[in-house]
Structure 1
């Protein structure tokens, strides 16, 4: 089973940008030293607790500070970028990292980013697909380039000097291109269906209930069947908040402190999603939502904590409920509430939990 971390990331409010950037750097370097395989990093322009506006730029400074961990965008929101710029930047990073890269793409999820880029009412799904077709077109051919679509039109045709390699755009290090991955938090996700249809990787967010996870794999399987593909559970990654402690009591003591970072994280998300009218994400039963659902009840669905034996049992029960999946990613949380506890959790998960899940 693949493992790594998905960093939206959501930090506790009040931190400086530099502090947040250092926290992200440190956790990625630590995960690499422990043998974790991949790290996804989000892209947000208008949310201070989610401070990374350019994950590729951020990752560049970590290429030579890590040994083997793969860097993944989680995700580049294609409607907010020119396709040629994304094609060039991704290809460049793929070479710089020598193929340690996964190309996570999406439509965006932050309303204030939609407002910033004027895409609030735009067909962002169509925009993503058109952009991806153009990006793959650039990577699959030599100039001249001529691309005409509904949302973008561009060309490099009249200024090409083939003998001098002028007019030529980057192709990625990986052939034909880095693996494509999409993610979603919505029930009955259309992106999950597209992933199955196209053979892309798919990631289910950590701040959704088990019931929504089940709709994701169902949508993925339907998409695969639509295109005549055999659904491959190894292409599905599930993100979960996981805290592994030496004993169950140690985990209980962590949550008894109401100021712990995990509870603060989910309180922030619950407030945000309530204002966006999206509390369905937290409902254990999405067909009969509980209007009085508490934060603790929501967290019981999304947080896996305890001793290695307890965590193994909870993950196995999760697989029984939703089906098999090929990747389990840790959700990022600030660790300064108990650094030693978190450091030990990463080790216990990698060495004591993960080997028992294969």
Structure 2
């Protein structure tokens, strides 16, 4: 499983490590068993999706937990698409634009398809949940993901 807090460049290295480990043991890895976790938030408009992601528990959890934890452990480079970017640029807005999957159903489907293509395919998307507050917004997001986004990606399985 690949964790939700790293950009695609890091996720790709996870599969490379799987292939290397499998090769050493004479096994063939199966991409259909690879699970990739991502923070996914879907809304009816792009503006609404971005606002709710940045003003809600998703941004809060990263700003108050993940980013300080990474900084304390000297691991901020893991969350950077460009490892040379300054730590001060590692913000919720940056994460939303580079790691999280946020937007309207069509845009979210496009972002997930791009992730799939960039890493060479995977079996399962694990859409992360963050306390589901406000509950109605998160239920709506997951409903849109299930009913409007995932059918657009059926050809990937």
Q: Would the TM-score normalized by the shorter structure come out above 0.5?
A: yes
Match of 2:38 among 240, 247, 268: 240
| Structure 2 residue 104 is the aligned partner of structure 1 residue 314 | no
Structure 2: give runs of 5+ residues left out of the alignment. none
| Structure 2 residue 14 is the aligned partner of structure 1 residue 204 | no
| Cross-structure match for 2:123 | 326
| Aligned CA-pair RMSD | 1.6
Match of 1:230 among 28, 37, 49: 28
In terms of fraction of residues, the more helix-rich structure is: 2
TM-superposed CA distance for 1:228, in Å, is 2.4
Q: When the two structures are superposed, what TM-score results if normalisation uses the length of structure 1? A: 0.40
Match of 2:86 among 286, 291, 298: 291
TM-superposed CA distance for 1:210, in Å, is 1.3
Q: Specify the SS of the correspondent of 1:265.
A: helix
Separation in 2 of the partners of 1:339 and 1:211?
A: 32
| Structure 2 residue 62 is the aligned partner of structure 1 residue 266 | yes
Q: Specify the SS of the correspondent of 2:131.
A: coil
| 256 and 277 in structure 1: CA distance in 2 versus 1, 3 angstrom threshold | closer
| Cross-structure match for 1:282 | 79
TM-superposed CA distance for 1:255, in Å, is 4.0
In terms of fraction of residues, the more strand-rich structure is: 1
Alpha-carbon displacement from aligned partner over 1:322-341 (angstroms, at most 9, x marks no partner) = 110001001120222x2211
| Cross-structure match for 2:48 | 250
Q: Specify the SS of the correspondent of 1:204.
A: coil
Q: Specify the SS of the correspondent of 2:145.
A: helix
> Residues 304 and 311 of structure 1 are in contact (CA less than 8 Å); yes or no, is this contact kept in structure 2?
yes
